[in-house]
Structure 1
Amino acid sequence: MSLEVQRQEYYRELAGQNLSPLWLSLHNLVTESPRPSIVPAIWKYDEMRPYVMAAGELITAEEAVRRVLVLENPGLPGKSSITQSLYAGIQLILPGETAPSHRHTQSALRFVLEGRGAWTAVNGERTTMSPGDFIITPSWHWHDHGNPTLEEGGEPVVWLDGLDIPLVASLDAGFAENHVAKEQDVYKHEGESFARFGYNMTPVRHRSADPTSPIFSYPYERSREALDKLYRFEAMDEYDGVKMRYINPTTGGWAMPTIGTFLQYLPAGFAGKTYRSSDSTVYTAVEGSGTAYIGDAVFKFSPRDVFVAPSWYPVRLEADAGEDVVLFSYSDRPVLEALGLLREARA
């Protein structure tokens, strides 16, 4: 019997014992660099919006629990994932509707794309939503959404949802619970959390083991002001323009333990240099138009478009002439950083 025949017989016997020879798969398990299964992709808001609004005619927010269209990466069909560790969706709430209260171990962010006046309630406090606002619903916190009636001035409100659903699923750590009431009790004044923690101050005896920021709503106007001032006062980065990360003001760390969130400014005509990073990143344009070069893909983006850059793909960002650009983005950077797996390269 030849050696090759003996090997094949050996491998069949291993399989019967739920064993596998590492030497046949080592080259795929330990690679020289990341080999992401996701691919660069873009979702144009003007093309998505009719489908989002049609969903509002076909199903109520209460029926759906969350009326959302999931952005599925073409490299992960059927996985409800935009990256290997992150989820993205476009959520709509119409005037007079309430998305019922629930909680889950997955952490979530909301970034408002269109409309004003709807609210999110978290931990007994409501915040009114406006375009560009970044809002957090921490792990295992009750949260619900609502919108005033037409008579009260309500209008359709659309936001980008970002969650760590794939990451939590990979750890088999998902739990969820529906509230007994449609809406949680609101017992705090609107803006109370920001008053406590949003001015580089904190109550003197505040102690918390929660890794998520105690500020759950970061208003766009304040974040935008910070970008403007840094652009005037500091030298601009050749790769990122002016880029800041949202933080937990009580620790100086990430605003969310599993999702890094960022806001960046590219002045009109900005042509960034190419960089790589081991975190996979989801972007949405807040203001202005430009071009994203991700690997071999070239994406022209406009306000409210969403695009994704996989791990270790070369990325370069440009702003159109005559148009300043603001981008919001989120990634799995906090997890990679905590595990010592974050790598970056700048050309």
Structure 2
Amino acid sequence: MHPGDFIITPSWTWHDHGNMAVANGGEPVVWLDGLDIPFIRSIGAGFAEPYPDPEQPITRPEGDSLARYGYNMLPVRYQPTTMTSPIFNYPYSRTREALERLQTHGEIDEWDGIKLRYINPATGGYAMPTMATFMQLLPKGFRGKAYRTTDATVFSVVEGNGTVRIGDQTFSFTPRDVFVAPSWQLVQFETDEEVVLFSYSDRPIQTALGLLREERLA
């Protein structure tokens, strides 16, 4: 885990939390957990089972899932058994490179800057069936147009400083800040320096149910 990485814990999968840096004299680690638990509980579909031992055994080396599934190729006999992406860690270094290249050679969207969504490489769909995840770059001097959507969105600032208008209020943000744009509230970004934002929402659920609505204001 490195700053800016997007890491998935698939549904019904053993997982441990740990910090090897502390064991080696390093600093504590803080990360943002994005959970679909409120929705899962609302439909009565929440289950959990503890692993019988203090730690689960490691069966594959670090980087294995990226090598198998993260280079626009799949193992020849791979068959998806879940709707969740088989990639465990989407490294920020690769995401940042893509954003930088698109900023240099692509068009800047007037509402989102340059915004990419994480996908399941086996299906082309969202990386997780209940949550959409995104990374976007807002160029230096960006003056975004206002938009609103029905999917309430959580934002985490990876790089840079700027301001965001949410509804009728304006907030300043700095790296590691977290803020939420509630459903159907106007959102508008302004930056004086380059900004990178990670965000996630329940967009896949709303899309599947035919409930998603969005509006981009001129």
Q: Same fold (TM over 0.5)?
A: yes
User: What is the CA–CA distance in structure 2 between the aligned matches of 1:142 and 1:312, rounded to whole Å?
Assistant: 36
Task: Give the conservation status (yes or no) of the 8 Å contact 2:22–2:28.
Answer: no
Pick the aligned partner of 1:339 from 209, 212, 218.
209
Matches within 5 A, 1:304-315: 304-315=176-187
The yes-or-no answer on 1:324 pairing with 2:198 is no
CA distance in 1, matches of 2:215, 2:68: 38
| Structure showing greater relative contact order (alpha-carbon pairs closer than 8 Å, 6 or more residues apart) | 2
Q: Go from structure 1 to structure 2 and tell me whether the alpha carbon gap of 1:174 and 1:237 turns closer, same or farther (over 3 Å shift).
A: same
CA distance in 1, matches of 2:109, 2:87: 28
Q: Over aligned residues, Cα RMSD in angstroms?
A: 1.0
Q: Is 1:247 aligned with 2:122?
A: no
2:75 is matched with 203
Between the aligned partners of 2:65 and 2:204, the Cα distance in structure 1 is 23
Give the Cα separation in 2 of the matches to 1:146 and 1:184.
12
Alpha-carbon deviations, 1:189-228, whole Å to 9, x = none? 1111100000011111100130000001001000000100
Q: Which runs of 5+ in 1 are unaligned?
A: 1-128
Structure 2 counterpart SS, 1:257: coil
Q: Deviations over 1:105-141 (max 9, x none)?
A: xxxxxxxxxxxxxxxxxxxxxxxx1111110001110
Return the TM-score normalized by structure 2: 0.97
Q: How far did residue 152 of structure 1 move?
A: 2.3
Question: For the residues of structure 1 that align with 2:171 and 2:29, how far apart are their CA atoms?
Answer: 26
Question: Following the alignment from structure 1 to structure 2, what is the Cα–Cα distance between the partners of residues 169 and 192?
Answer: 32
| Mapping of residues 1-347 of structure 1, within 5 Å | 129-148=1-20, 150=22, 152-319=24-191, 321=192, 323-347=193-217
Distance change in 2, residues 1:200/1:314 (3 Å): same
Identity of aligned residues (%): 63
Shift of the 258–195 alpha-carbon distance from structure 1 to 2, 3 Å rule, reads same
> Residue 30 of structure 2: SS of its match in structure 1?
strand
CA–CA separation in structure 2 for the residues paired with 1:221 and 1:158: 19
What is the DSSP-based 3-state SS (H/G/I as helix, E as strand, rest coil) of the residue aligned with 2:110? coil
Deviation of 1:148 after TM superposition, in Å, equals: 2.1
Amino acid at match of 1:228: E
TM-score (norm 1): 0.61
Q: How much does 1:150 deviate?
A: 4.5
Q: Secondary structure at the match of 1:196?
A: helix
For structure 1, which segment, 293-302 or 147-156, has the greater mean C-alpha deviation from structure 2 after superposition?
147-156
Q: Distance in 2 between matches of 1:298 and 1:139?
A: 36
* Aligned mates of 1:152, 1:175 — CA distance in 2: 35
Partner of residue 83, structure 1: none
Cα shift at 1:176: 1.1
Q: How many residues are paired up? A: 217
Q: Could you report, residue by residue, the CA deviation over 1:274-333 in whole angstroms, capped at 9, with x for unpaired residues?
A: 0111100000110000001010121100000000001111110111x2x20000000000
AA partner of residue 337 (structure 1): T
| Alpha-carbon contact 2:66-2:87 (below 8 Å) kept | yes
In structure 2, the partner of 1:101 is none
Q: Describe the shift of the 1:137–1:233 C-alpha distance in structure 2 as closer, same or farther (beyond 3 A).
A: same
Runs of 4+ that moved beyond 6 A: none
Tell me which structure has the larger Cα radius of gyration.
Answer: 1
AA at the equivalent of 2:171: F
Deviations 1:30-57 (A, max 9, x none): xxxxxxxxxxxxxxxxxxxxxxxxxxxx
Task: Tell whether the 8 Å contact from 2:21 to 2:28 is kept in structure 1 after alignment.
Answer: no
**Alignment partners' CA distance in 1, 2:156 and 2:164:** 11
- Please list every run of 5 or more consecutive structure 2 residues that lacks an aligned counterpart in the other structure: none
- Tell me which moved more, 176-185 or 234-243: 176-185
CA distance in 2: counterparts of 1:150 and 1:216, whole angstroms: 22
CA–CA separation in structure 2 for the residues paired with 1:200 and 1:153: 38
